[in-house]
Structure 1
Amino acid sequence: MLKLKPELHKMMRCNVGDERSVSFWFDWWTDLGPLISVFGNRGTRDLRIPLDASVCVAAPNGLWTLPPARSDEAETLQVVLSTMQPPSPVRGQDSFLWRSGACSFLPKFSSKATWNIIREPSPLVSWNKMVWFKEEIPRYSFVSWMALLSRLPTRDRLISWGLLVPPVCPLCSLDSETHDHLFFTCTFSTAIWSHFAGWMFPTPPLAFASVADIMNLPRITSRSGAGTVLKLLLQAIVYSIWRERNHRIFRDSSSTVAAIAKVVDRSMRDRLLSLPPPPPDGTVSLLQLYFSTPVSSRLSFI
């Protein structure tokens, strides 16, 4: 019989069938939990059931057959078994269930449910939907998430770790590289943001906090799908700025502001084109919504 680690017992239950594959001692097949944890090492002697026995050993003739109770634990077990049907071939094979909630178990394993159970939940941050949403591009979301947390290895962080690197920003060479400078106050980054200024955001944002404020503008909240297009655009710009920064450092190559803007525009069109079309009720698609912005038509001629 397979002996599961104690933490796995909390995640699994056994659905009683013929009980030929369920361990009498180590699987969780009664409300008492794994019986080895109830009886300890003396359990095999008290119940006269070997340590490697399956549950069907306790019901050889279709009835629960245990020796007279000689302890409180054995008496409790007999009471519990009196409420359970003995194993039988007509009930089919045993099955194992995975925890799907606080008090529910399902025959299918869910990584999401398991993660929600074993993790320590924390309050949702205000910007969670700005980073994680259904239409996201995973690598864009990851870089945006790291940028929001100020966890990207910018030069100010590398210097704080004791590394000998030049502090100057590789995009503008005018100031020290920090998260706020790299993505918002750098003249190169500001020029990229300015390319996309329009009905979505009137002026380039000054920090990630102002990006979150843009999401709450009436022109965004009042139009269906505008929030999704804006979130994709914000992440595409942040990702492209970070990518250009790395190219300049590690590949010794650089692109112009116009070239970066064209890359952002192309990635937006490709992603929005890959999304399912809207229902035939007159709803404007996200791609059409993006095309309705003045900047998208302007960029197509760069």
Structure 2
Amino acid sequence: MMCDVGSDAIHEGQWWLASSRSRNLVLSLLRQCLPHVDSIRDSECEDVYLWQTANKPPSPTFSASLMWDTIHPRSETIYWHKAVWFKDHIPRHAFGCWVVARNQMITRDRLIRWGLSVSSLCLLCNVQNENRQHLFFDCPFSAEIWLSYTVAANLSPPPLFEDLLRWIVKPNQEKNLNIIMRILFHATIQSRP
């Protein structure tokens, strides 16, 4: 049989926590959740300490790993992390690729959304609106750079940036070619205006 925890926390007929003048929100909430002192004092059982994390049932054993997972929930894996961060990356280029993969590069479409009055046209071709997709794949000037690399490697990459981030992780069965293509992809991104 399990009993309520608390007889050690009662002092002079009241919860020792009740006399605390702290304005801490957690302590205030805890004070509201405490049962009446008489139900604890009249109990004939020993106190039992139970640990409960997230949606797990209470347990008499403490688990540091469960507590860590509760405090720091795991986020979902980013599908493009291997395209950006890999063993042989050049740090400066990987950082630039990370910014572009998160779509945080300052392109003209973003400047306009921020309220700046700038032309929306691409600086390279001066024909279409500048955004991430256009800047890396649709602009004839920049697309030619990437196309020259992929043709030389006898590869056909997907035409959309999001799809390329998935594809570039393993564009071929040859491991060394995959690394070279990722390095070239990073260098191509780094060379953008």
TM-score bracket relative to the smaller structure: 0.5 to 0.7
- Please say if 1:40 is aligned against 2:11: no
SS of aligned partner of 2:150: coil
- Please say if 1:229 is aligned against 2:183: no
CA–CA distance in structure 2, aligned partners of residues 159 and 135 of structure 1: 36
Read off the aligned partner of 1:235 and give its amino acid letter.
H
2:167 to 185, 191, 213: 213
| Equivalent position of 1:9 in the other structure | none
CA–CA distance in structure 2, aligned partners of residues 202 and 173 of structure 1: 29
List aligned pairs for 1:1-302, cutoff 5 A: 39-40=16-17, 76=47, 101-102=65-66, 118-198=71-151, 200=153, 202-203=155-156, 206-208=159-161, 209-217=163-171, 220=172, 222-241=173-192, 245=193
SS of aligned partner of 1:164: coil
Distance of aligned partners of 1:239 and 1:120 in 2 relative to their CA distance in 1, 3 Å threshold: farther
Q: How far is the alpha carbon of 1:117 from its aligned partner? A: 6.3
Q: Deviations over 1:66-100 (max 9, x none)?
A: xxxx957xx638x9xxxxxxxxxxxxxxxxxxx97
CA contact (8 A) 1:193 1:204 kept: no
Question: Under a length normalisation based on structure 2, what TM-score does the superposition of the two structures give?
Answer: 0.59
Q: How far is the alpha carbon of 1:155 from its aligned partner? A: 0.5
Read off the aligned partner of 1:182 and give its amino acid letter.
L
| Equivalent position of 2:27 in the other structure | none
CA RMSD of aligned residues (A): 3.7
Matched length? 148
SS of aligned partner of 1:171: coil
CA contact (8 A) 2:83 2:168 kept: no
CA contact (8 A) 1:131 1:145 kept: yes
CA–CA distance in structure 1, aligned partners of residues 100 and 79 of structure 2: 15
Q: Deviations over 1:235-277 (max 9, x none)?
A: 1211221xxx1xxxxxxxxxxxxxxxxxxxxxxxxxxxxxxxx
CA–CA distance in structure 2, aligned partners of residues 206 and 125 of structure 1: 21
Q: Deviations over 1:141-178 (max 9, x none)?
A: 23323322322221011112221111111222222111
Structure 1 vs Structure 2: percent identity of aligned residues? 30
Q: Which ranges of structure 2 fall in alignment gaps of 5 or more residues? A: 1-5, 10-14, 21-39, 50-62
CA–CA distance in structure 1, aligned partners of residues 136 and 148 of structure 2: 14
Distance of aligned partners of 1:42 and 1:175 in 2 relative to their CA distance in 1, 3 Å threshold: closer
CA–CA distance in structure 2, aligned partners of residues 131 and 100 of structure 1: 32
CA–CA distance in structure 1, aligned partners of residues 142 and 117 of structure 2: 25
CA contact (8 A) 1:201 1:214 kept: no
Q: Deviations over 1:104-161 (max 9, x none)?
A: xxxxxxxxxx7x7644433323322112223333332233233223222210111122
Q: Deviations over 1:19-46 (max 9, x none)?
A: xxxxxxxxxxxxx9xx8xx952669xxx
Distance of aligned partners of 1:119 and 1:141 in 2 relative to their CA distance in 1, 3 Å threshold: farther
